[in-house]
Amino acid sequence: MAMKLWELAGAEDDRLFSPYCWRVRMMLAHKGLSAGTVPWRFTDKEAIGFSGQGLVPVLLDGEREVHDSWAIAEYLDEAYPQRPLLFADAQAHASALFFRLWCERNLHLAILRLVILDIHSHLHDRDKAYFRESREKRFGKTLEEFAAEPTAALAALRGVLDPVRPVLVQHRYASGAAPGMADYILFGAFQWARVVSPIRLLEPDDPVYAWRERMLDLYDGLARKAKAYAVWT
């Protein structure tokens, strides 16, 4: 039975912008697996009620339901151990976990400050109030206030990337010679921005820029073909 992946969509069914869902898309491609997209909006809590929680990605593989991008990665290696592994061993698992936590704590926040209004403008109408209310509560300020200093946010983003740059100068991918979990995690954050916003996050002479191009090319241009702003290329 084909897999199904519930993915966060904007007003258009094919504007898929969640960084966590993009991780899963890339992970599935890494393993040579595919899954049909079920477009989902923030307020469609009932549609994924079967998962026992209210966030995507949710993967349905036959009868088996898995949610949370990290749990999905672990599941895919467990269920398909003969396909290319996402975690080659405990060391790879530990280092990818650290990378993920670093990314979510630092990079995601910097990018969100730059694209939150673009996200809002691409949401389905039925999601707009939910998104505004939940994010304004989380950040203790209006979306507009949260996005008020894009120049500072862009400088912060570029500073956050400092520890990544030398890795991408020495290695083709954040995971070394071949793409892996660190790449899918990092790329998810950039694709999140690319799908909703024309903002230029990186200068072309940034090693992260060239890496991002390589990621867009992976798996027959999977991410490059997605509905997004193509201003980078």
178-207 exposure pattern, b = at least 16 Cβ within 10 A, e = fewer = ebbbbbbbbbbbbbbbbbbbebebbeeebb
Q: How far apart are CA 55 and CA 28, in angstroms?
A: 19
The answer to whether 119 and 132 are in contact (CB under 8 A) is: no
- Which residue spans within the chain are E strands per DSSP? 3-8, 35-40, 58-61, 64-67
**List 29, 38, 143, 176, residue binding its own copies (CB under 8 A):** 176
**List 89, 125, 205, 220, residue binding its own copies (CB under 8 A):** 89
User: Is residue 180 a contact point for its own copies (CB under 8 A)?
Assistant: yes
Q: Least distance from C-beta 163 to its own copies, angstroms?
A: 4
Q: Partners of 37 in the beta sheet?
A: 5
Q: Least distance from C-beta 11 to its own copies, angstroms?
A: 34
Give burial (CB, 10 Å; 0-12/13-18/19+) of 62: exposed
Q: How far apart are CA 76 and CA 29, in angstroms?
A: 11
Q: How far apart are CA 20 and CA 187, in angstroms?
A: 10
DSSP element (H, E) containing 208: helix 207-221
User: Is residue 95 a contact point for its own copies (CB under 8 A)?
Assistant: yes
**List 171, 225, 230, 231, residue binding its own copies (CB under 8 A):** 171
Output the six-digit token pair for 96. Answer: 């990818």
Find the helix packing angle between 90-102 and 181-196, rounded to 10°: 30
Binding track over 105-134 against its own copies, x by CB under 8 A: x-----------------------------
Measured between its terminal Cα atoms, the distance across the chain in Å is 37
Nearer to its own copies, 131 or 211 (CB): 211
Q: Least distance from C-beta 50 to its own copies, angstroms?
A: 27
Q: Least distance from C-beta 203 to its own copies, angstroms?
A: 20
User: Is residue 148 a contact point for its own copies (CB under 8 A)?
Assistant: no
Q: Least distance from C-beta 26 to its own copies, angstroms?
A: 16
Q: Least distance from C-beta 101 to its own copies, angstroms?
A: 4
How many residues make contact with its own copies (CB under 8 A)? 30
Q: Least distance from C-beta 42 to its own copies, angstroms?
A: 26
Binding track over 1-40 against its own copies, x by CB under 8 A: ----------------------------------------
Chain contacts with its own copies (rule: CB under 8 A) = 88-99, 101-102, 105, 162-164, 166-167, 170-171, 173-178, 180, 182
